[in-house]
Amino acid sequence: MILQESANPDAPVGVFIHDLSIRFGEQVIPLEALDLDEVLAESELQLAGSVSGKVEEGARVQIEQTWRPFLRQAKTVNQIESASRGRFRTDLKLHNGVNGLKISAVGPDGAVLDSRSFELHYKGSFREWNETIFIAFFLAILIRGLVVQAFWIPTGSMEPTLLGEKRNPFTGQLERGGDRILVSRFAYVFDLSLDGRLPFGPRFWFKLPERGDIVVFRYPNPDVNAPPKDYIKRVVGLPGDHISIEDGRVYVNGVYLNEPYIAEPPLSDYATRVPDDSLFVMGDNRNNSSDSRFWGPMPLTNLKGQAVFNYLPMNRISPIRSFPHPMQPARPVDQQG
């Protein structure tokens, strides 16, 4: 509540308004004692005060209340006839926001003998709950879109690193739930477009992923009308890299990659060059993974973040670590000479 008192400099000598107070429930608060930053949570109030001095018969107290609903100003005027012994009281109903109050002592001829002005700030419980829910929703969207996001692993394309859901092939009964992971949306890029939901939102890059990082991205479906799907794979090639698969081994720019995390070596040979605006990604379960070998490079614009933590099931709680690729000779030692 913000109090702003002002006396009428033209008031007749000896006529003044004083002892102003408000009551709600059993609590009575003098206006002079109000905290300047206080916001009232009660809308039904009783205002009381006194008028002293040379008050003529027929004088009255006038209370003007103003507020701003829907960006316009509304106003009510409450006329109180002179009360016994100069005391007056009236009921007030506050409106959400700032309520301006002006209390005037008015003579029989309509002249203002004295006045006091102040403001009361009121926020109803309905509005407060709405604001709380809105803020919580906004923060949830902000955190999910810009900081961290939870994902579920439904398939086995990243096994044995990340486990997918497993069902009995005969009964269909669920035998194992997929891993639940957290993805850092802040690892590579600060995406104010919220995955393209806000076309005008910029994307600020911190760095490119590194080979061996596990990333989540939007599947680059050529059908623009298809519902979006999120994939998780391991980065194998960076922009400009030459990728080849020969005899079950992966080479980047002619250099063999040591990959102890894969389920088994890939069965088919492959070769490509990664475009400058893309990554080459593959699942750790090389022979059971839909990845860049089949649908092409993954555009950097589709990148969502880096998988950083496995939080469920309980027995698999652990950080998800990248595997930096220590480069090996162009061919494994056991195949040379």
Mind telling me the catalytic residues? 157, 233
Residue 134 CA to residue 121 CA, distance in Å, equals 21
List of residues 6+ apart from 309 with CB closer than 8 A:
181, 182, 318, 319, 320
Query: Does residue 304 sit in helix, strand or coil?
Result: strand
**Short-list 101, 99, 41, CA closest to 68:** 99
Q: What angle do CA 326, 329, 332 make, to 5 degrees?
A: 100
Q: Which two tokens stand for residue 193?
A: 């477009």
Torsion of CA 162, 264, 165, 303, to 10 degrees: 50
Q: Position 232: which residue type?
A: I
Q: Facing residues of 34 across strands?
A: none
139 membership: H or E segment, kind and range: helix 125-146
Residue 180 CA to residue 150 CA, distance in Å, equals 7
Length of the chain: 337
**Can you tell me which residue has the tokens 């103003």?**
66
**What are the C-alpha distances in Å from 35 to residues 2, 18, 28, 67, 112?**
7, 18, 14, 20, 28
Query: Does residue 318 sit in helix, strand or coil?
Result: strand
Residue 279 CA to residue 38 CA, distance in Å, equals 56
